[in-house]
């Protein structure tokens, strides 16, 4: 690890003051410490933000405001999350291990970086995320875990978070703070697609701090998360689906759908949602919606299987939710 200084922020304003050029915020450290040890991240200073708000507050109308320092375990375990946002509890519990979820914070989970093996291979591979412009070895390499949607000639990496897929489906917003003031962004606008600059992963300004995540009142009581992976536990997603579905008189009244493991960002499936609204809640309609979403999917050498896998997982998850509704 490259040497760095460490300090602890007492609150958000203190964190912003400490975040000088070259500094990074430190949550549980489960991603950042790993990347620093590999010298992929080389911050000059770490500003520990685990002392910032870690509360889960009720909002008017039935939403929740979750402090950025709240541990993943605490969110998944929270009564209101389990009852009103099962998709979020399930997505968190599907990720990593109990030990890592005990350490991981909301802010850190959202900003965790890709698990692309070429990104991690600092010594032997080219990666436009590490060194902009040097090239991407994944495009012609082993790319079974890589993207099928929204990739670019510069980068085919995927965002690895399970939790973020649920946040995308829930219409969450992120509360941000910087020297310039505060702003609130739709969660789905936070992460970027790679285009020509895969090293720039979010729209955050340098030093901008995530202070909280807000969940609007749930669209429907029924929501769930399904993760398809190489082993039944403790593996990243090949494909995952977060969904919430409201059915009325046999028709889709409303639906929110997001996909994991398929793109550079948690992928909100707007096309599938549009195709479904007002349609009968049937297997055929679910499959058609999945086809619509994946119509422009582009396979790489090793990951064409993901296209059909994603379609089937979407249809299965919607079928499960519709079955519960009946």
Partner 1 sequence: MSIMINGAAMSLPEDPRVSLLDLLREHHHLTGTKKGCNQGACGACTVLVDGERIVSCLALAMQYEGRAVTTIEGLADGNELHPLQQAFIEHDGFQCGYCTPGQICSAVGMAAELKRGAPSNVTGDLSADTIAFSRDELAERMSGNLCRCGAHNGIIDAIGATFAARPEVAA
CA-CA-CA-CA torsion for 110, 116, 117, 120, nearest 10 degrees?
A: -50
Residue 83 is a binding residue for partner 1 (CB under 8 A) = yes
CB of 156 to partner 1, least distance (A): 23
Which structure tokens are listed for 147?
Answer: 């993207």
Nearer to partner 1, 48 or 199 (CB): 48
Name which of residues 22 to 61 contact ligand FAD (CB under 6 A).
24-32, 34, 49
- To partner 1, the closest distance from the beta carbon of 75 in angstroms equals 12
Q: Please, are residues 114 and 158 in contact by the beta-carbon 8 Å criterion?
A: yes
CB of 14 to ligand FAD, least distance (A): 13
State the minimum distance, in angstroms, from the CB of residue 296 to partner 1. Answer: 32
- 160-189 binders of ligand FAD (CB under 6 A): 160-163
32 or 294: CB nearest ligand FAD: 32
Sign of CA dihedral 64, 70, 72, 75: negative
**Which positions from 14 to 53 touch partner 1 by CB under 8 A, shown as an x/- string?**
------------x-xxx--xx--x--------x-x-x---
Q: Is position 123 an interface residue for partner 1 (rule: CB under 8 A)?
A: no
Considering beta carbons, is residue 223 or 246 the nearer one to ligand FAD? 223
Q: How far apart are the first and last CA of the chain?
A: 56
102 binds partner 1 (CB under 8 A): yes
Instruction: Answer yes or no whether residue 273 interacts with ligand FAD by CB under 6 A.
Output: no
For residues 203-262, which are near partner 1 according to CB under 8 A? 232-234
Nearer residue to partner 1 within complex by CB, 232 or 326:
232
Q: How far apart are CA 175 and CA 183, in angstroms?
A: 6
Considering only the C-alpha atoms of the chain, give the largest distance between any 2 of them, rounded to a whole number of Å: 62
**Contact call for residues 169 and 223 (beta carbons, < 8 A):** yes
Q: Please work out the total of residues on this chain that contact partner 1, with binding judged by CB under 8 A.
A: 35
Instruction: Choose from ligand FAD, partner 1, none: what does 24 bind? Cβ within 5-8 Å by kind.
Output: ligand FAD
Site string for ligand FAD, 98-117 (x = CB under 6 A): --x--xxx-xxx-xx-----
Structure tokens at 102: 């005990």
Task: Please list, residue by residue across 145-163, b when 16 or more beta carbons sit within 10 angstroms of its beta carbon and e when fewer do.
Answer: bbbbbbbbebbbbbbbbbb
Smallest gap, in angstroms, from Cβ of residue 3 to partner 1?
Answer: 7
Nearest CA among 216, 30, 201 for reference residue 109: 30
- Structure tokens belonging to residue 321: 């939710």
Among 100, 185, 304, 325, interactor with partner 1 by CB under 8 A: 100
Separation between Cα atoms, residue 112 and residue 24, nearest integer Å: 13
Of 65, 69, 43, which is closest to residue 217 (Cα–Cα)? 65
Residue with structure tokens 């965002």? 159
Cβ-based burial of 211 (10 A; exposed 0-12, middle 13-18, buried ≥19): buried
Chain positions contacting partner 1, by CB under 8 A: 1, 3-6, 26, 28-30, 33-34, 37, 46, 48, 50, 73, 76-77, 82-83, 86, 89-90, 93-94, 96-100, 102-103, 232-234
């Amino acid at each position: 690890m490259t040497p760095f200084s460490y300090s602890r922020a007492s609150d958000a304003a203190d964190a912003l003051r400490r975040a000088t050029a070259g500094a990074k915020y430190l949550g549980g450290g489960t991603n950042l410490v790993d990347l620093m040890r590999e010298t992929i991240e080389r911050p000059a200073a770490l500003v520990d933000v685990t002392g910032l708000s870690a509360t889960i507050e009720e909002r008017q109308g039935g939403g929740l405001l979750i402090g950025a320092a709240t541990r993943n375990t605490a969110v998944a375990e929270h009564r209101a999350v389990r009852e009103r946002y099962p998709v979020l509890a399930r997505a968190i519990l599907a990720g990593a291990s109990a030990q890592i979820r005990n350490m991981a914070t909301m802010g850190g989970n959202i900003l965790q970086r890709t698990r692309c093996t070429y990104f991690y291979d600092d010594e032997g591979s080219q990666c436009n995320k590490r060194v902009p412009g040097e090239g991407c070895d994944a495009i012609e390499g082993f790319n079974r875990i890589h993207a099928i949607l929204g990739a670019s000639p510069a980068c085919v990496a995927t965002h690895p978070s399970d939790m973020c897929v649920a946040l995308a489906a829930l219409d969450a917003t992120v509360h941000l703070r910087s020297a310039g003031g505060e702003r609130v962004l739709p969660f789905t606008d936070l992460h970027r697609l790679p285009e020509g600059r895969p090293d720039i992963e979010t729209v955050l300004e340098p030093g901008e701090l995530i202070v909280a995540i807000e969940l609007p009142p749930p669209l429907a009581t029924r929501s769930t998360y399904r993760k398809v992976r190489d082993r039944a536990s403790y593996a990243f997603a090949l494909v995952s689906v977060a969904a919430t579905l409201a059915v009325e008189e046999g028709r889709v009244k409303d639906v929110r759908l997001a996909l994991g493991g398929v793109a550079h960002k948690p992928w909100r499936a707007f096309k599938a949602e549009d195709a479904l609204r007002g349609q009968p809640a049937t297997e055929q309609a679910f499959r058609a919606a999945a086809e619509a979403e994946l119509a422009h999917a582009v396979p790489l050498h090793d990951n064409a299987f993901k296209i059909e896998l994603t379609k089937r997982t979407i249809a299965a998850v919607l079928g499960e939710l519709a079955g519960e509704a009946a």
